[in-house]
A and B are shown apart, each in its own frame.
Chain A
Amino acid sequence: MGEALTKSAQWTAAGHGTRTLEITPLNEVILKEIMMFVESFIYKYPQEAKYVFVEPLEWKTNLDPSAFESGYIVSETTVKSEEVDESGQPLLFLSVPHIKIRNFGQLSRLLLIAKDTKLKEAQACIEANRDPVAKILGLDYNTVKEDTSTVNILDKITKDEDSESEMKMKIAMLLRQLDVHLLNHCLKHISLQISLNPTSVKNDIELLKNFSGKGEQTVLESIDYTSDYEFSNGCRAPPWRQIHGEICYVLVKPHDVETLCITCSAEGVFLNGGKTDDEGEIDYERKGELYKDLVTFLKEKSAKFSENMSKQGIKFRNAQKKEKEEPTNELPEKEEAAPVQKAITLEKNQINFGKSQMTKRLEPSLNWKATVDFKDRNLLRDPQVEKHRGKPERSGPPVLCGRAQLARKSTEKTEEIVSESSSESEEDEEPSDHRQEANADLPSEYWQIQKVVKYLKGGNQTATVIALCSMKDFNLAQETCQLAIRDVGGLEVLINLLDTDEVKCKIGSLKILMEISHNPQIRRNIVDLGGLPIMVNILDSPHKSLKCLAAETIANVAKFRRARRAVRHHGGITKLVALLDCGKSSAEPAQPSLYDARDVDVARCGALALWSCSRSYANKEAIRKAGGIPLLARLLKTSHENMLIPVVGTLQECASEENYRAAIKAERIIEDLVKNLNSTNEQLQEHCAMAIYQCAEDEETRDLVRLHGGLKPLASLLNNTDNKERLAAVTGAIWKCSMSKENVTKFREYKAIETLVELLTDQPEEVLVNVVGALGECCQEYENRVLVRKCGGIQPLVKLLVGTNQALLVNVTKAVGACAVEPESMMTIDRLDGVRLLWSLLKNPHPEVKASAAWALCPCIQNAKDSGEMVRSFVGGLELVVNLLKSDNKEVLASVCAAITNIAKDQENLAVITDHGVVPLLSKLANTNNDKLRHHLAEAISCCCMWGRNRVAFGEYKAVAPLVRYLKSNDPSVHRATAQALYQLSEEADNCITMHENGAVKLLLHMVGSPDQDLQEAAAGCISNIRRLALATEKARYT
């Protein structure tokens, strides 16, 4: 009621205090609703009707005292109700013309008495009592406090269970219900009159956002704008769509249907064609009925949405029914907030109402920003959903929406999605279609190109060649020209020409296609028009220059997945590989004629195309099967830089596959890669380093890199930090190479470690990941740890612990952990609060980071001064660690067990983690087959035995029997840890019995013979404990 009155009702602007309600249809509706509520109150809620208001409602009435009848003490100018409150005051007191009423019962009666004039009375009452709720329930219940009010009420109720509060609560509920009701009425009323505007849409969306998320209670799974950029007029639609009155586009994911892409326009809300998965652009075409607002639309589209939306009402009704037996019927906070949120929306609506007449026609914003972040936007999308949504037609010329596209839709297979390599995703995101832009102001080139294309279409061979040559003179690197060729239908003609017998026309056409296919949109169009199969066929042509051009164009086009697949499916990979097989006859043709090109060029173009294609997994396989690797290896021996780049690029791309890495080793390619590291071409160096990075996962390869002298150039390339891509590749190669100890020694010799430390600051993340990774490897050695500390590497490393990049965090934690082995470094880490940072990374959502952080904590705890105190100082830290034992990731579990082993060395901390239930959690893990986990688990168990009755508890939680089985493992480290754990556990007689029953003795006897002293000792100790128990029992039996 409060909101409805203060915000929706239309007050006259007349001065303060005496403001009156305007006579408007809206106000009339509100008043009528309030009246109906009050009138029926006495019948519906007889109990509540007796409730005495905190303050009376006072106003000037027009009622004559004579109108009052039974139940009232009527005098000439006064009327008193017979009904009185506890202190004897009448609940209705009229002293003409002032009237005071103090409960709903009297209010109801008054309205009945007033009959015809009740509307006026109600109006007068509301005008005089601008905040009736406050008067009725007291200021505490004043709903002006918006969303928190209901919560406060509930708080109050739950605290003091007295009957008055209970009553107040009920009334508050009722009033709120009325409020919602009124607001809904207003909304209906308003929505009849005005069209949507940006503010109302925004509010609707914000409101829905608040109610979205996971779980059954929410109305939607998610709701998001397609664009983050908001223009000054509040719209998010691009200017050319704003002209059509469109405000913004939202992606809504309801619980029960798939994602809807919705246009909110001034006319209403409708479903559009959705986002195209290729360019991330929206198909603005209206695809469904027009609805008046978002909520109505969603109610229509999603049953779950309307169900959850209406639950609000149902809940309220339920609340009423249950009131008697369950007065504190708490509703989830969110539900409570709903009407309030709604009210805000409404308020805004109202404010805008006056203006909307003028601003109805939305002015396109001029400061339009073309570079909306597409990647960000993409994150919001559910990729699965994207895939299933068909590619809608574009608004452009029929070039694009032909059969090719439809055919493609059906061939799009999930198999492909999985089989693509990871480098794919980013490049598939390409700028959206700028066609609309071009319409606005067509450059002169457009018309010239249109003319040329006309001759291209309608000319014989001679005219075609002239037209092609003339077209080539345009600046084909410029996007306007590229798109102009497409928009005037030039692409079809160019592609058709490829299918003719005219070699000259083919050459001319390919020369143009090669240039314009640098444009991502054109690439897609070429594929849509079926250009790739034709070009693949041209690869068989006897004319080398044609082969070259076709291969180079394919190289440009095959930058996205669908194109690469098309190349493969039409046998292009084999043909491209065949192009590599040149150079046998080193003799160049005597007279390079029109149709001839040098063999080297043919191979170069082939390699270029393969490079593009090799980004798909299936193509890598196809290249290998077609015998591409030896050919690439041979080309790598040549010295043409132009040739080497694509060759190394292809190898680098393919080296992500295991069998390629093996082949690269076998074909002695590493040697050439190392050789080319010394090239002067930065790009070549980059790709070589990248290839080494990929291959150096393998130990033998790392040794090869060293043997061929590759470490020195890598180290020296570190000094040039301008080219970040190359730096990333080089540091990557160094990282992987430094996994071998000999290599680390070499790097130290070349002073690479100092340089790496310098690179810890001001570098992009790609570089940092590798640099930190390399340092992490290097720091496994004592000398290097000292070196890193002396170079001041600890501080930047610890600083990096606050990052968000998963790969980086994994490496940083590892590096910090490696440094922490050094007590002196540990002091620095501790001083920089590094342990706390590591500890907080245990909360990171990525299991790898968690595990890595837990591993890093182990040396920290070992080496920190006063580590027990330090660990305790992390509030909630121990609980966090113990709870990580519930993880289902083996690596996390192993690392946490290791951390617990270290934590448990401090008695006090052991006591704390015991309280947090570490024993049952550890015991639960006992049935594992993972040797790494077994090892650390056994250690943790043996350390945790040191407290209280933990030994007994481990026995009770059945951890002993599985531990005995660990002795059958093949891993000696598991044996030692297990024997130690069993030794600890065997201090408890029951555990000895369990061990004996599970055949531990025989296994332990074996262990006694082990060369490992610790193992010997632990095993022997355990056996002796078991034996002692046996002796004691025997003794007991005989005495």
Chain B
Amino acid sequence: MSRKKLQKLTDTLTKNCKHFNTFEVECLINLFYKLVGDVTERQGMVIGIDRNTFRNILHMTFGMTDDMIMDRVFRGFDKDNDGCINVSEWIYGLSVFLRGTLEEKMKYCFEVFDLNGDGFISKDEMFHMLKNSLLKQPSEEDPDEGIKDLVEITLKKMDHDHDGKLSFSDYEQSVREETLLLEAFGPCLPDPKSQMEFEAHVFKDTDEFNDI
């Protein structure tokens, strides 16, 4: 890509992104192109990070393990739902992912947790997300018993309007009361340590960033 084009792209994206400065955007763009590889841009062909590469990044860099959550994070990034993350989705997604305000993060997390996208986190969705969260005790007759109970506990804690499911406002209220509940149903944000490492790496010097 030409320098001029890169400059232009950086400027546009920086304008639309409040959490990164120009330098940081440039670094991230460079990283993006490193990740997609040397595919020359062709008309009609979308350049982007595909699901597998992205999941790989989430796993390797940010230590995420839950397949379903990673999938949801990918969807969260992939705003246009075309199966790959283009450069502007990348920058926007990361700005929330790394630097988002509490509001942005809440919105992002809720979207991740709302598996079917109907605006509510239902009991089933919760169950789905929490089903691996407890150690299976061989002694227990119904292994799902604990999960169901956990869902009830969560609901009791977060379902403020008592309709048996979490709306965004339920979720928002709960998180404002207790920020620990931001990632209530699974880690979908980088933990502070890997975030720092990532930022240190990426924003230090683009040339040295060859590992990812």
Let me know if B178 and A501 touch, CB within 8 A: no
Interface residues of A in 464-501 (CB under 8 A from B): 465-470, 472-473, 501
A621 to B178, CA, bound (A): 39
Query: Chain A residues with Cβ under 8 A from B150's Cβ?
Result: 455, 459, 463, 466-467
Give a binary string over B159-199; 1 marks a CB under 8 Å from any A CB, 0 the rest: 00000000000000000001111111111000111000000
Alpha-carbon distance A458/B149, docked complex (angstroms): 13
> Known: A469-B180, A503-B192, A591-B101. Is A462-B153 also a contact (CB below 8 A)?
no
If A452-B153, A470-B153, A470-B157 touch, whether A594 touches B179 (CB-CB below 8 Å) is yes
Find out whether the CB atom of B192 lies under 8 angstroms from the CB atom of A543: yes
A595 touching B137, Cβ below 8 Å: no
Which B residues are in CB contact (< 8 Å) with A502? Answer: 191
A501/B193 in contact, CB under 8 A: yes
Q: How many A-B residue pairs have CB under 8 A?
A: 75
A460:B192 contact, CB within 8 angstroms = no
The reply to whether B134 and A463 contact each other, CB–CB distance below 8 Å, is: yes
Q: Does any Cβ of B come within 8 Å of A554's Cβ? A: no
Task: Determine whether the beta carbon of B149 is less than 8 Å from that of A462.
Answer: no
Chain B interface extent, by class: 20 to 34
Chain B, Cβ-Cβ closest to A463 = B133
CB distance from B63 to the nearest CB of A (A): 10
List residues of A (794-836) whose CB comes within 8 Å of B's CBs.
none
- Once the chains bind, are B135 and A458 in contact (CB under 8 Å)? yes
Report yes or no: A470 in contact with B135, Cβ–Cβ below 8 A.
no
A467 touches B153 (CB 8 A): yes
A458 pairs with B153, CB closer than 8 A: no
Structural contact, B191 and A459, CB atoms closer than 8 A = no
Residue A507, interface by CB 8 Å: yes
Chain A residues touching B, majority SS: helix
- A466 to B166 alpha-carbon distance, docked (Å): 15
* A474 nearest CB across to chain B (Å): 11
A454–B139 alpha-carbon span in the complex (Å): 14
Tell whether B154 is near chain A: CB-to-CB under 8 Å.
Answer: yes
Known contacts A467-B153, A469-B180, A504-B180: A462-B130 contact under CB 8 Å = yes
**Which residues in A have their C-beta under 8 angstroms from that of B130?**
462-463, 466
Decide: A451 and B149 in contact? CB cutoff 8 A: yes
Residue of A nearest to B132 (CB): A460
Least Cβ–Cβ distance between A469 and chain B, in angstroms: 5
When distances are taken between beta carbons in the complex, the residues of chain B under 8 Å from A454 are 146
Contact in complex: A469, B181 (CB < 8 Å): yes
Complexed CA–CA distance, A502 and B132 (Å): 18
Residue A273 CB within 8 A of the other chain? no
Is B156 close to A, CB under 8 A?
Answer: yes
Question: Are A472 and B178 touching (Cβ within 8 A)?
Answer: yes
The one of A470, A503, A591 in contact with B156, judged by C-beta atoms closer than 8 angstroms, is A470
- Whether, in the assembled complex, A239 has its beta carbon less than 8 Å from a beta carbon of chain B, the answer is no
The reply to whether the CB of A461 lies closer than 8 angstroms to some CB of chain B is yes
Q: Are B192 and A469 in contact (CB under 8 A)?
A: no
A508 within 8 A of B: yes
Residue numbers in B under 8 Å from A451 (CB-CB): 149
Once the chains bind, are B186 and A462 in contact (CB under 8 Å)? yes
How far is B192's CA from A905's CA once the two chains are assembled, in angstroms? 87
Q: CA of A502 to CA of B146 in the docked complex: distance in angstroms? A: 22
CB contacts (< 8 Å) of B183 on chain A: these are 462, 465, 504
A455 touches B146 (CB 8 A): yes
Docked-complex contact A466 and B135, CB < 8 angstroms: no
Query: Which residues of the partner chain A approach B134 to less than 8 Å between Cβ atoms?
Result: 455, 458-460, 463
Q: CB-CB < 8 A to B129: which residues of A?
A: 462
| CB pair B153 A594 closer than 8 Å | no
Cross-chain contact of B184 among A462, A543, A593 (Cβ < 8 A): A462
* Chain A residues near B153 (CB-CB < 8 A): 452, 455, 466-467, 470
Contacts of A472 in B (CB 8 A): 178
**B185 surroundings in chain A (CB, below 8 A):** 462
Residues of A close to B146: CB separation below 8 A? 454-455, 458
Query: CA–CA, A595 to B196, complex, Å?
Result: 13
Residues of B within 8 A of A463 (CB): 130, 133-134, 150
Q: Which of B113-156 contact A (CB under 8 A)?
A: 129-130, 132-135, 137, 146, 149-150, 153-154, 156
Task: Kindly list 11 other residue pairs between chains A and B, CB separation below 8 angstroms, not including A460-B135, A462-B129.
Answer: A455-B153, A459-B135, A459-B150, A462-B184, A462-B186, A462-B187, A466-B150, A466-B157, A469-B180, A503-B192, A591-B102
Chain A to chain B: the 9 pairs with minimum beta-carbon distance, closest first: A463-B133, A458-B135, A462-B133, A460-B133, A470-B153, A594-B179, A462-B186, A459-B134, A466-B154
Provide a sorted-by-A list of 23 A–B residue pairs whose CB atoms are within 8 angstroms.
A459-B135, A459-B150, A462-B129, A462-B183, A462-B184, A462-B185, A463-B134, A465-B180, A465-B183, A466-B153, A467-B150, A469-B157, A469-B180, A470-B153, A470-B156, A502-B191, A503-B191, A504-B183, A507-B180, A591-B102, A593-B102, A594-B180, A594-B182
